[in-house]
Chain A
Amino acid sequence: MKKIIIGDHIRKTFGEGQEKHTVLKDVSVEMNEGEFVAIMGPSGSGKSTLMYALSGMDSIDAGTVSFDGMELSAMSEQSLAELRRTKMGFVFQQPTLLKNLNILDNIILPSMRNHRTSVDNIKKKARALMKKVGISELEKRDITQVSGGQLQRAGICRALISNPQILFGDEPTGALNSKSAQEIMDIIAEINAQGTAVLLVTHDPKIAARTDRVLFMRDGEIVNDLHFNRSTDTSIDVKIEKLMVAMRKIGV
């Protein structure tokens, strides 16, 4: 299987002098194409920082990160931006839509940056995505006129508009009620099933249980790398049970 991300001895510190705090301590991690991975761990364990480092949105102090064979630290600001625009999709805890634009405009925004395809094709694609996540009727709405769950769906459409190789999610269901959260996870699982790799940060075992593999972090280190067995770990309850055991073992 081809590796989409290889993180090698990543080190990241915040602050200076006395207040210096190492958030990632020599972390190495790899992720395959099409893989569905969650990062779990208590607050402050470095899980979000790891995800931002792996996506190139945050710089690192030591080590390397390569994405699809390219080393991120060697890339210019422009190439990194292009990478984010064409090969990566991002979903955040808050929907992060721009309030000047309506829902449809927000969704097509990344592919409008340098649209090589015609606007009509981009719109067609956006409408198909909106239909898929169930927000077809909202395209002309302002972002203040729809619910949080609907906004997050719009956020997912935006992340997928450029057919990314990987979707990064920083607690994408964190601000939603459990029904909406499950619906969003259904959508993400479907995207993954179609071949897009997914890397999620989450607190919630129920969310993590939807993935193939869970990285447990504590104090800036990966302390457990749990792979679910596709043939035996078929039900969510079994997967949650496994997760709980692992969490107890590492003391979280």
Chain B
Amino acid sequence: MYYKIIRNDIAKSKLISLTTMIFVAVAAMLVALSAILVVNLSSALDTLMKQAKTPHFMQMHIGDIDTARLREFATQNSDVEDFQVLEFLNIDGAQIIIGNRSFASNVQDNGFSIQSEKFDYLLDLDGKIINATDGELYVPLRYMKENDIKVGDKATISGKPFTVAGFLRDSQMNSMLSSSKRFLISKNDYAAIQSSGRIEYLIEFRLQDLSSLSAFETAYATAGLEANGPTITYPLFKMLNALTDGLMIAIILVVSLFVVAIAFMCVRFTLLAKIEEDYREIGVMKAIGLPVADIKKIYLAKYAAIAAIGSIIGFILSLLLKGMLLENIRLYMGESGDSFFALLFGVCGIVFVFLAMLAYVNGVLKRFRKISAAEAIRFGISQQQKINTKRFCLSSNRLFNTNIFLGIKDVLARKKLYATMLIVLVMAAFIIIVPLNLYNTISSNNFIKYMGIGNYDMRIDVQQTENIANKTEQILDAIHHDSSIAKHTVLTTKTFKAKMEDGTEQNIKIELGDHSIFPIEYSTGRAPASQHEIALSALNADELKKKIGDSMTLIIAGKEQNFTISGIYSDITNGGKTAKAMFTDHSANIMWSVFCLKFSDKALIRDRMAAYASHFPYAKVSAIHDYVIQTFGSTIDAVGKASRTAIAVALFIAILVTMLFMKMLVAKDRYAIAVMKALGFTNADITVQYAARSLFVLIISIVIGTLLANTLGGLLAGAVISSFGASSFTFSVNPIAAYLLCPLLMACSVLLATILSTSGAGKIKISDNIKE
């Protein structure tokens, strides 16, 4: 019997059943995909970290190192299984040329290593330990795609020729978020280029048991061993590796939640309409003594069928699509061993969606209990529906045309029914506005200010050369005689020793100069305004454990001086560890200096760039626009693409759901439409009434959606933006796009959908619906 009822019911409402099924299928697909991805990610990551034997504890250190003392500590400590010190030869990007491209503008710390002997291996794409022979260069995987490097490309490192022999997986530094990258070369080649870079040491330990990690960390710290660089532990390596793909999985999960919510809304809407339609029958069934559970089953069965078919389709789709999304994980981490388990987990996800759907339908059907049999049979409609006809009366309406009034009135009278459409349209508005604002924010000129760069046109870098102070003076002199420059400043970076609270000293690079000319955005606080203030980059502030208003001690010309922290900012330059101050100093050597220039006419930039470059061959002249394009271009493009996709998807959802709702409404309101027509309302009147309903709901949706987008959406987007460097930001909104064009686009789509789907109202015959 159920089969027959279900079949008839689905055949009667093909469009709505199909749409609900599509939403269930998409939701199931996304949930299954994220389940499959989670298992694959964690399994592939485990495999990678096992094969590479990632260190459990790693201390970076620059400068003198006492290896004998470290070995002594390792043998004394019973937790240590193995110990080694690796060298990381940090070479400036300008000295690295692969293919024909220089790494000069690369923001990573690029270092060269030889293969480790004990653990922390650099692996090839098959998970095997690489043995580099002379002349061979193995490049971090991350650069394969980013810099379009191929096996066989010629490379020059500090003047020495190499050939790219392959790519390597580095269980420590694979991640985009890790600020260093390791290249692998042979021992002989390493010895040959050793003098052209700066050696950093990676002091690494493997422990007997990972659970003793925190005890070991304390032991290492108290032993007073080498420790002037960051300390990274196994769990952090794991997190860094998982974050990029984890972020993708999180986004898929969030999207799938949206789709599940939309599927629920569709179900709720159709179910409520159906219950209303069948009110009398339900009353009769109750009156003749059918238990509520049995009546519910009839309705539940239909949705169980839809959800089951949708879930199966979703699962098949997820199997077809998973290869595409697993590509990244496979590339960076290798194959996962648990494909059966991943599949099982995917099935669990699908079953979860299916059960959630049933539970939801069951919840909506709870209202059966409240239906009074007598009332249902007598009136055929629920008498409990409290329709408020008091407040908004046609007789006192002076504002709206009657048709528009009737449209708005209907929405106000049947709020619960329209709530469904409202929620879906709010989501659509949200999906449109958040990516749009995000795109607008990161593509705006001001965005680089969140990244630690002021809003200027051109910069001249003087570094890696002799006698920087003199050269800086020469350039400064030229700038003073250049009338095309509207504003300029020169910032010189020097290294000072900062005194830590435990009495130890740490090197800190400080950019000195006037920071008010090209201000950047501070996460908290402001630029240093006096000789005794200093601003720290977020990474430095974290590492030094400093907040706004705290003081720190620097050693300048051998004397201790106290500074107050005036501000903290995000920075992606120089590994993110920078500081800004304005005191004058003649004691320390200049490490590099940077000129920031703004021209009175932007058209002059190219011309002046060429002039300065030829005049001062030792300086690196670059346009900020180029810098932005190089660093964020692909991200901006990707977000722009995502934003356009989001707009298309949201409009599609808005159109589909509006059509669905309006079609259902027309079917539901057949009788009222027939009455209207009998009273002399034309088909055009009816269409205007329905358009008024959907536009009224849409306007409320856009208002709520925009508010949500600017609050909740800001937080979400903040999470995305912080993943590539900026710790805090505010949306820069393009009001015309966000508050005019997008709402207009939505309004047109919704209006079109309404007109298309209410055309059926014209076909409703008065006599068929009123005649007794």
Residues of B contacting A82 in the complex (Cβ-Cβ under 8 angstroms) = 680
Q: Is there an interface contact between A142 and B395, defined as CB atoms closer than 8 Å? A: no
Which A residues lie within 8 Å of B383 (CB)?
A: 144
A99 near B: Cβ within 8 Å? yes
Interface residues of B in 733-772 (CB under 8 A from A): 762, 765-767, 770-772
Interface membership of B398, Cβ < 8 A: yes
Residues of B within 8 A of A88 (CB): 680
Is the pair B398, A119 in contact by a Cβ cutoff of 8 Å? yes
A84 within 8 A of B: yes
A171 close to B (CB within 8 Å): yes
Q: Are B682 and A78 in contact (CB under 8 A)?
A: yes
Residue A245 interfacial (CB < 8 Å): no
Contacts of B681 in A (CB 8 A): 81, 85, 113
In the complex, A105 Cα to B406 Cα: how many Å?
Answer: 10
Specify the chain A residue showing the minimal Cβ separation from B772.
Answer: A93
0/1 per residue, A84-107, Cβ < 8 Å to B?
A: 111010101110101111101100
Flag if A171 contacts B772 (CB, 8 Å). yes
Q: Which of A99, A101, A110 has the most CB of B within 10 A?
A: A101
Interface 1/0 per residue, A69-87 and B, CB below 8 Å: 0000000011001111110
Q: Which residue of B lies closest to A168 (CB)?
A: B678
CB atoms of B680 and A119 under 8 A apart: no
Contact among B389, B397, B402, B413 with A113 in the assembled complex (CB-CB below 8 Å) = B402
On whether the beta carbons of B394 and A112 are closer than 8 Å, the reply is yes
Asked if A110 and B680 make an inter-chain contact with CB atoms under 8 angstroms apart, the answer reads yes
Q: Is B191 an interface residue (CB 8 A)?
A: no
Q: B671 contacts which chain A residues (CB < 8 A)? A: 96
Q: Mark A23-62, 1 if CB is under 8 A from B, else 0.
A: 0000000000000000000000000110010000110000
Assess whether A105 is in contact with B772, with CB atoms less than 8 Å apart. no
Q: Is A131 an interface residue (CB 8 A)?
A: no
Q: Bound complex: CA of A170 vs CA of B682, how far in Å?
A: 22
CA distance A36 to B588 in the complex (A): 113
Residues of B within 8 A of A110 (CB): 679-680
A residues less than 8 Å from B677 (CB atoms): 81, 84
Q: How far is the CB of A118 from chain B (nearest CB, A)?
A: 10
0 or 1 for each of B398-439: is its CB under 8 Å from A? (1 = yes): 100011001001100110000000000000000000000000
Kindly provide the distance from the CB of A90 to the nearest chain B CB, expressed in whole angstroms: 5
- Scan residues 109-139 of chain A and give those whose CB is less than 8 A from a CB of chain B: 109-110, 112-113, 115, 119, 123
Task: Provide the residues of chain B in CB contact with A99, threshold 8 Å.
Answer: 381, 387, 413
Cβ-closest chain B residue relative to A139: B395
Q: Which residue of A lies closest to B768 (CB)?
A: A58
Interface pair A58/B766, CB less than 8 Å apart? yes
- Is A174's CB within 8 Å of the partner chain B? yes
Q: Is B409's CB under 8 angstroms from A100's CB?
A: yes
**Residue among A57, A85, A94 making CB contact with B767, cutoff 8 Å:** A57
Most chain B CB within 10 A, of A96, A115, A158, is at: A96
B236 within 8 A of A: no
Please, how many angstroms separate the alpha-carbon atoms of A144 and B406 in the complex? 19
B377 to chain A minimum Cβ distance, whole angstroms, is 15
User: Is A5's CB within 8 Å of the partner chain B?
Assistant: no
Distance in Å from the Cβ of A242 to the closest Cβ of chain B?
27
Q: Decide: A174 near B772, CB < 8 A? Known: A84-B679, A102-B393, A109-B394.
A: yes
- Categorize the interface residue count of chain B: 35 or more
Is B390 part of the binding interface, using a Cβ–Cβ cutoff of 8 Å?
A: yes
A-B contact count, CB below 8 Å?
Answer: 104
Q: State A196–B398 Cα separation when bound (angstroms).
A: 31
Query: Once the chains are docked, how many angstroms separate the CA of A48 from the CA of B393?
Result: 34
Residue of A nearest to B409 (CB): A100
B324 to nearest A CB, angstroms?
50
Inter-chain contacts of B285 with A (CB < 8 A) = none
A49 cross-chain contacts in B, Cβ below 8 A: 767, 771
CB of A3 within 8 A of chain B? no
Report yes or no: A170 in contact with B398, Cβ–Cβ below 8 A: no
Indicate if B675 sits at the interface (CB-CB under 8 A): yes
Also in contact, A105 and B389, with CB within 8 A (given A100-B409, A113-B685, A170-B772): yes
| Contact of A77 with B387 in the complex, beta carbons under 8 Å | no
Complex: chain A residue closest to B672, CB-CB = A98
- Would you call B683 an interface residue if the criterion is a C-beta within 8 Å of the partner chain's C-beta atoms? yes
The smallest beta-carbon distance between A152 and chain B, in angstroms, is 14
B398 contact set on A, CB distance < 8 A:
119
The one of B381, B395, B403, B771 in contact with A105, judged by C-beta atoms closer than 8 angstroms, is: B395
Contact between chains at A104 and B675 (CB < 8 Å)? no
| A140 touches B (CB below 8 Å) | yes
A108 within 8 A of B: yes
Q: Which of A84, A102, A112, A171 contacts B402 (CB 8 A)?
A: A112
Answer whether A100 and B682 are a contact pair too, CB < 8 Å, given A52-B771, A170-B771. no
A113 to B33, CA, bound (A): 54
Q: By the criterion CB–CB under 8 Å, are B409 and A101 in contact?
A: yes
Closest to B414 in A: A100
A58 to B402, CA, bound (A): 26
Question: Does A96 lie within 8 Å of B680, measured CB to CB?
Answer: no
Q: Which residues in chain A, 171-199, are within 8 Å of chain B measured between CB atoms? A: 171, 174
A81, A82, A99 — most chain B CB neighbours (10 Å): A81
Contacts of B379 in A (CB 8 A): 144
Alpha-carbon distance between A90 and B379 when the two chains are bound, in angstroms? 22
Mark contacts of B670-706 with chain A using CB atoms, 8 A cut-off: 1 yes-contact digit, 0 otherwise: 0110011111111111000000000000000000000
* Pairwise interchain contact A81-B682, C-beta atoms closer than 8 A: yes
Of all chain A residues, the one with the shortest Cβ separation from B410 is A100
With known contacts A81-B677, A90-B679, A113-B685, A58–B387 Cβ distance under 8 A: no
Instruction: Quote the shortest CB–CB distance from B764 to chain A (angstroms).
Output: 12
Q: Is the CB of B685 within 8 A of A58?
A: no
A102 touches B772 (CB 8 A): no
Instruction: Give the Cβ gap from A218 to chain B, nearest Cβ, in Å.
Output: 19
Q: Are B679 and A102 in contact (CB under 8 A)?
A: no
CB distance from A15 to the nearest CB of B (A): 13
CB-based nearest B residue for A43: B772
Give Cα distance in the complex from A99 to B675, angstroms. Answer: 12
Bound-state CA distance A206–B671 (Å) is 30
Residues of A within 8 A of B675 (CB): 96, 98
Chain B residues positioned under 8 Å from A84 (CB to CB): 677-680
How far apart sit A102 and B675, CA to CA, in the bound complex (Å)?
A: 16
**What are 29 A-B contacts defined by CB distance under 8 Å?**
A49-B767, A52-B771, A57-B678, A57-B767, A77-B683, A77-B762, A81-B680, A81-B682, A81-B685, A84-B679, A86-B680, A90-B679, A93-B772, A94-B770, A98-B675, A99-B387, A104-B393, A104-B395, A105-B389, A108-B395, A109-B402, A110-B680, A113-B402, A113-B681, A115-B402, A142-B387, A142-B389, A144-B387, A170-B770
A58-B767, A142-B387, A171-B772 known, 9 other contacts, Cβ within 8 Å: A49-B771, A96-B678, A100-B387, A102-B393, A104-B393, A109-B402, A109-B679, A158-B679, A170-B771
* Cβ-closest 6 pairs across A and B: A85-B680, A105-B394, A84-B680, A102-B389, A58-B767, A100-B413
